[in-house]
Structure 1
Amino acid sequence: MADETIARKRLRGFGNWQATATRHTPLEDAQGLFTGTVLTALGIAILAHLGFLTGGTAGLAFILHYATGVNFGLLFFVVNLPFYFLAIRRMGLAFTVKTFIAVALLSLLTAVQPALFAFGTVDRTTGAVLGGLLMGFGLLALFRHRTSLGGVGILALYLQDRFRWRAGITQLAIDLSVLALSFTVADPTSIAFSILGVVVLNLFLAINHRADRYIAM
């Protein structure tokens, strides 16, 4: 009985570095940020392999990448710079710093990904759905640790905090607007598959990311 009590205490204390029901520890934030960014980078790699796009600042970076040939990671980092002003004014310093780290890490991962692994044949429908789901999982992990991948993510989280608008629905509307610009660099078939990926991503977020169900900071 004594051994069981000790075991329970150890289990409760494992990883509990001043954590509470509503606040993550620095270690929890670090693993959430890293995992979310890696999953998102993998989803982006699948989309890029198929010549697809996505929405938000990543979509803008894709458009510029296809139009100019400049590295996607560098463009993604630069496109996000103007949004940090809104982040630090509306979301706080901690959110802004974590977001900057996540954006920088994603930029690095997408830049080195071709040297780390490559894809073979990927069915286009499967790639669009899988890419959208991976990015959705990644963004969900980041959102739940009070960070984002900049740009539209910052705006969507701000609007959810301010007006209780679902982050996924807000992001879907903006993403579809960004995809409308992609007709300048991609063919209609690729854009159609890109829209499929965006819808999968944002419906996943709309269903799973709700402030009234997850309150940890």
Structure 2
Amino acid sequence: MADRGTLARIWASSADRHSMVDDAQGVVAGSMLAVLGISLLSNAGLLTGGTPGIAFLLHYATDLSFGICFFIVNLPFYYLAFRRMGPAFTLRTFAAVAITSMLSEQLPRYLGLNDVDPLVGALFGGLVIGAGLLALFRHRASLGGVGILALYIQDRFGWRAGLVQLCFDGMILACSFFLASPYIIACSIIGAIVLNLTLAINHRKDRYIAM
């Protein structure tokens, strides 16, 4: 098993190719794309996988906003991020989660997305969130939770992060059968597939070297 020092060297390798400004831009841009995709899913009444999916479940089942749920759900995963990925990854991930939580609260005030068709919301929402995660992954950050586990498993065992996350997402979406109609669930699954295929196809170290 790779120890913390080995993983720290893997994640620290990005410092030679991405500057702090590059990383800051990547984290902000990735978070903004994720928020846009989340807004599409939310306005279509859909769910997704990962910690956003857990936050959606809590949001639909309670009176709490998505942003608050998303921030709270990610709190337990920072310890794993720090132990396995190092402080730099943890700080960037915390920043991405904080930005996403904050913008998801504010964006509806400035961007009206009403009457979003569930299938369209699934296709475009999944694709946009996938693009946002790609930006975060390439700058050694994530949206926390399942993303941290997926990235660790990819570096430890060589399994693609997108496919790993797809398995976790399937389990999370299974819980949605208690909260949504079959059509909404079907569209949510389509969105999760689009999101994770975007990651699986594009997030490969042999195709992207400026990490």
Length-normalised TM-score, structure 2: 0.91
Deviates more, 1:139-148 or 1:122-131: 122-131
Runs (4 or more) in structure 1 with deviation over 6 Å come to none
Aligned to 1:122, the other structure's residue is in SS state coil
**What's the CA shift for 1:153?**
0.5
Q: Is the 1:166–1:206 Cα contact (8 Å) retained in structure 2?
A: yes
Aligned partner of 1:4 in structure 2 is: none
Task: Note if 1:161 corresponds to 2:146.
Answer: no
**What's the CA shift for 1:21?**
9.4
Q: Is the 1:22–1:215 Cα contact (8 Å) retained in structure 2?
A: no
Q: CA offsets per residue over residues 140-191 of structure 1, 9 Å max, x none?
A: 0000000000001100000111111100000000001100011121111111
Aligned partner of 1:137 in structure 2 is: 131
Aligned partner of 2:39 in structure 1 is: 45
42, 53, 57: which one pairs with 1:63? 57
175, 179, 185: which one pairs with 2:169? 175
**What's the CA shift for 1:114?**
1.7
Q: Which entry has the higher C-alpha Rg, 1 or 2?
A: 1
**What's the CA shift for 1:85?**
0.8
CA RMSD of aligned residues (A): 1.3
Q: Matched residues, percent identical?
A: 61
Unaligned regions of 5+ residues in structure 1, if any?
1-19
Q: Which amino acid aligns with 2:166?
A: L
Aligned to 1:179, the other structure's residue is in SS state helix
Q: Is the 1:21–1:216 Cα contact (8 Å) retained in structure 2?
A: no
Distance 1:188 1:77 in 2: 28
Aligned partner of 2:28 in structure 1 is: 34
Length-normalised TM-score, structure 1: 0.88
Unaligned regions of 5+ residues in structure 2, if any?
1-13
Alignment of 1:1-217 (within 5 A): 22-217=16-211
